[in-house]
Amino acid sequence: MKRLILALALLCALPANFLFCAVPAWAVEPDEMLRDPALEARAREVSKGLRCVICQNETIDESHAEIAHDMRILVRERVTAGDSNQQILDYMHSRYGDYVLLQPRFTTATFILWLAPLVILMLGGLAVASRLKRGGHEVAPLTPEEEAALASFNDSGDKAP
């Protein structure tokens, strides 16, 4: 196992293989970054929770779309102005709705999304429990006739080619 991990690590270390490993990718340009590392870190964190509104499934942190760039700038302005992470997410949510949040909120529109895995897990659990309660599948032992038939198959001389 250790060798396997080592091999994988070496594979990742090869630059030509970067496609196969999860390399962090972001689109933040140096001129966008805030001077204060703590604020910049918060801006990055908020950006990772916001979905680029024209690229379906990228965060604004990863997206090179122009609107994502402008949203990153806005996030940094708000961070600098002293807004909390939650306030920034709330603002974006108030403009673009659920779409913009990569972690959808628990609302009447999204409760199925959130609860479905739990419900499916519970149904599966119930199915397993009821099966265990019934004591599983008991197979009756072979009758003497069946034993005889089985023996005749074995003695019939059919050989696998």
List of residues contacting another protein (CB under 8 A): 53-54, 66-67, 70-71, 73-74, 92-97, 99, 137-140, 143, 145-146, 149
* Contact by Cβ (8 Å): 68, 29: no
Q: How far is the CB of 4 from another protein (least distance, A)?
A: 36
Pick the closer one to another protein by CB: 12 or 96. Answer: 96
Pick the closer one to another protein by CB: 19 or 139. Answer: 139
Q: How far is the CB of 88 from another protein (least distance, A)?
A: 12
The 3-state secondary structure of 108-151 reads CCCHHHHHHHHHHHHHHHHHHHHHHHCCCCCCCCCCHHHHHHHH
d(CA 105, CA 98): 7
Looking at residue 123, its amino acid is L
In sign, the C-alpha dihedral spanning 108, 114, 117, 122 is negative
Pick the closer one to another protein by CB: 12 or 87. Answer: 87
Q: How far is the CB of 29 from another protein (least distance, A)?
A: 14
CA distances from 159 to 32, 148, 152, 153 (A): 77, 19, 14, 11
Q: How far is the CB of 23 from another protein (least distance, A)?
A: 28
Q: How far is the CB of 9 from another protein (least distance, A)?
A: 40
Pick the closer one to another protein by CB: 53 or 89. Answer: 53
Pick the closer one to another protein by CB: 28 or 92. Answer: 92
